[in-house]
């Protein structure tokens, strides 16, 4: 009898798991690649969830519609996705630029848990709403109102709006990229300004270090910081620049403020609006927004120095399927990341997969044979992430 009961129980669990898998409902521990489908009216916005097959290919599971509409475009360095990596409530938050709200999705159930709007004047219909998150607060950069909205994370993947912080670049620039490390939030603006904020009290308070990035001020190339990443120890902030060449800047933030940035530039490709550090911080992935390529630079986490690495060939489908490359997510959450998934923005948006090989301080990046996977629910894919996330 006991054996029968155990067998029945096991079969029931297996059956339930199978049903959940078939129905797209998730189980805790499932690894996802997620995309923000910021679709413009009349197409519903949502978040698409992919799993990774044993051969490395992405397998679409389901789209969770978020109930509103996006704008299908906007700034490249502005991340429309924020993944809450909390074990008690893993969530994916996604902004809907046209509707003007932020929606939380419970990863365990792949259902919408809640949503929130900012103030009456907050808006992102021109170029989107960017997100950055820590375990307690979510920050939203509104490109119309030029504000940072502070939201408190609620149980069940909900949000509660707290208040707005008006911001502006030195030359009236609009807020663009944002990233959080500990109690520091760093933002970039469209006029080349960068600024850090203290978020120890929840609300962003400027650290008084607003400045034009070095590339913006001095470079021959017309350049401004767009996306941002920060090293695990919080020593360096790295900026991916929008530029007519590949341009990356590094700032020492160990003092608690942004120091003058140092520039790394190369004519290997065009623009570098999106960047991403590898988990072991030995590589910096650089998405060449207009160049249709992805580069990997060697990064020294002790000195903050970047050295030349490698650049992929042109990703398949440029011009025909996609116009620009945008956000990226890591293939592996350990080591050098093993490569990246890259958002391809265009009439047939897709997710490209590139694998990284490193040997003797040389590297190569290659697009996999099954790449790209078309993201049919996203007519204008810009933001991509993973659950779970990188550990810093």
Partner 1 sequence: MRWLSKGWFAIVVCGFAFLKPVAQNCPARPDSGTVVADPFSISSQNGVLSAKFSLGHSVDSAGYTHFCYNYQAGTETVEAPTLRLNPGDTLNLAIVDRIKNNESMKMNMEAPAGPTCGDGGAATVNSTNVHFHGMNVPPVCHQDDVINTLIQPGTPGFQYAVHIPATQPPGLYWYHPHVHGFTEFQVNGGAAGALIVEGMEKVRPEVAGLTERVFVIRQQYLVPWIPGPYLLTVNYQIAPFLGAARPIINMKPGERQFWRVANATLQDFLQLQVQVNGTLQPLEMIALDGYPLAQTRNQTTILVPPAGRAEFIVQAPASGGSAVFFSNMYDTGPTGNLDLSQSLATIQTTSNAASSPMPTATRPSAEGVKFFDFAQQPATTERQLYFSEEFGGTNGPIQFYITVDGQKQKVFEPNEAPVITTKVGAIEDWTIENRALETHAFHIHQIHFRVLEVDGKPVPNHDLRDTIEIPYWGGSGPYHSVKVRMDFSDPTTAGTFLFHCHILLHEDLGMMHKIQVMP
Residues near 57 by beta carbon (within 8 Å), at least 6 away in sequence: 353, 368, 370, 373
> Per CB under 8 A, which region of 75-83, 148-156, 163-171, 349-357 contacts partner 1?
75-83
- Token digits for 123? 């808006």
2: left (phi over 0), alpha (psi -120 to 50) or beta: alpha
Q: Which of 271, 388, 250, 277 is nearest to 324 (CA)?
A: 271
Smallest distance from the beta carbon of 388 to partner 1, in angstroms?
Answer: 28
d(CA 161, CA 137) in angstroms, rounded, equals 10
Which residue number, 61 or 141, has a Cβ lying nearer to partner 1? Answer: 141
Encoded one letter per residue, x for contact with partner 1 by CB under 8 A and - for no contact, window 88-117 reads ------------------------------
d(CA 382, CA 287) in angstroms, rounded, equals 12
Q: Are 312 and 365 in contact (CB under 8 A)?
A: yes
d(CA 339, CA 351) in angstroms, rounded, equals 13
Which residue number, 221 or 252, has a Cβ lying nearer to partner 1? Answer: 221
Backbone angles phi, psi at 280, to 5 degrees: -90, 0
> Per CB under 8 A, which region of 72-80, 103-111, 131-139, 327-335 contacts partner 1?
72-80
Encoded one letter per residue, x for contact with partner 1 by CB under 8 A and - for no contact, window 242-271 reads xxxx---------------------x-xxx
The three-state secondary structure class of 17 is helix
d(CA 317, CA 294) in angstroms, rounded, equals 14
Member of 78, 116, 178, 287 binding partner 1 (CB under 8 A): 78
> Per CB under 8 A, which region of 17-25, 27-35, 205-213, 315-323 contacts partner 1?
315-323
> Other C-beta atoms within 10 Å of 186: how many?
26
Confirm or reject binding of residue 165 to partner 1 (CB under 8 A). no
d(CA 258, CA 236) in angstroms, rounded, equals 9
Which residue number, 281 or 377, has a Cβ lying nearer to partner 1? Answer: 377
d(CA 289, CA 271) in angstroms, rounded, equals 5
Which residue number, 49 or 189, has a Cβ lying nearer to partner 1? Answer: 189
Encoded one letter per residue, x for contact with partner 1 by CB under 8 A and - for no contact, window 222-241 reads xxx-x---------------
Smallest distance from the beta carbon of 319 to partner 1, in angstroms?
Answer: 4
How far, in whole angstroms, is CA 243 from its chain's centroid?
19
Binding residue count for partner 1, defined by CB under 8 A: 43
Q: Are 200 and 185 in contact (CB under 8 A)?
A: no
Which residue number, 8 or 41, has a Cβ lying nearer to partner 1? Answer: 41
Encoded one letter per residue, x for contact with partner 1 by CB under 8 A and - for no contact, window 316-355 reads --xx---xx--------------------x----------
Q: Are 284 and 297 in contact (CB under 8 A)?
A: yes
Confirm or reject binding of residue 378 to partner 1 (CB under 8 A). no
Which residue number, 76 or 93, has a Cβ lying nearer to partner 1? Answer: 76
Member of 94, 141, 266, 290 binding partner 1 (CB under 8 A): 290
118-147: which residues touch partner 1 (CB under 8 A)? 126-128
d(CA 115, CA 129) in angstroms, rounded, equals 14
Confirm or reject binding of residue 176 to partner 1 (CB under 8 A). yes
Query: In the complex, which residues of this chain contact partner 1 (CB under 8 A)?
Result: 71-78, 126-128, 176, 190, 219-224, 226, 242-245, 267, 269-271, 273, 289-293, 313-314, 318-319, 323-324, 345, 380, 382
């Amino acid at each position: 009898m006991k054996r029968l009961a155990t067998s029945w129980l096991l079969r029931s669990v297996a059956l339930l798991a199978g049903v959940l898998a078939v129905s797209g409902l998730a189980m805790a521990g499932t690894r996802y690649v997620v995309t923000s489908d910021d679709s413009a009216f009349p197409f519903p916005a949502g978040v698409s969830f992919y799993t990774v097959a044993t051969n490395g290919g992405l397998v679409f599971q389901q789209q969770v519609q978020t109930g509103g509409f996006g704008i299908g475009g906007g700034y490249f360095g502005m991340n429309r996705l924020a993944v809450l990596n909390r074990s008690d409530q893993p969530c994916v938050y996604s902004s809907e630029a046209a509707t003007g709200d932020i929606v939380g999705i419970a990863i365990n159930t792949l259902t919408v848990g809640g949503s929130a709007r900012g103030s009456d004047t907050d808006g992102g219909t021109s170029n989107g709403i960017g997100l950055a998150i820590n375990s307690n607060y979510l920050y939203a950069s509104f490109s119309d109102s030029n504000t940072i909205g502070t939201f408190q994370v609620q149980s069940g993947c909900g949000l509660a709006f707290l208040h707005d912080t008006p911001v502006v670049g030195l030359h009236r620039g609009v807020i663009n990229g944002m990233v959080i490390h500990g109690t520091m939030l760093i933002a970039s603006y469209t006029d080349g300004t960068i600024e850090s904020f203290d978020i120890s009290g929840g609300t962003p308070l400027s650290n008084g270090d607003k400045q034009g990035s070095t590339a913006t001020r001095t470079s021959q190339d017309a350049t401004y910081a767009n996306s941002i990443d920060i090293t695990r120890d919080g020593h360096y902030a790295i900026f991916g620049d929008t530029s007519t060449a590949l341009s990356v800047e590094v700032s020492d933030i160990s003092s608690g403020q942004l120091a003058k940035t140092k520039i790394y530039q190369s004519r290997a490709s065009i623009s570098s609006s999106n960047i991403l550090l590898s988990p072991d911080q030995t590589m910096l992935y650089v998405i060449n927004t207009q160049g249709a390529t992805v580069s990997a630079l060697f990064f020294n986490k002790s000195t903050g120095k970047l050295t030349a690495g490698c650049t992929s060939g042109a990703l398949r489908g440029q011009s025909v399927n996609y116009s620009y490359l945008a956000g990226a997510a890591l293939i592996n959450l350990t080591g050098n990341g093993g490569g990246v998934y890259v958002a391809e923005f265009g009439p047939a948006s897709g997710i490209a997969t590139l694998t990284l090989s490193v040997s003797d301080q040389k590297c190569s990046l290659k697009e996999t044979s099954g790449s790209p996977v078309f993201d049919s629910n996203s007519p204008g894919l810009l933001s991509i992430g993973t659950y779970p996330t990188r550990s810093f």
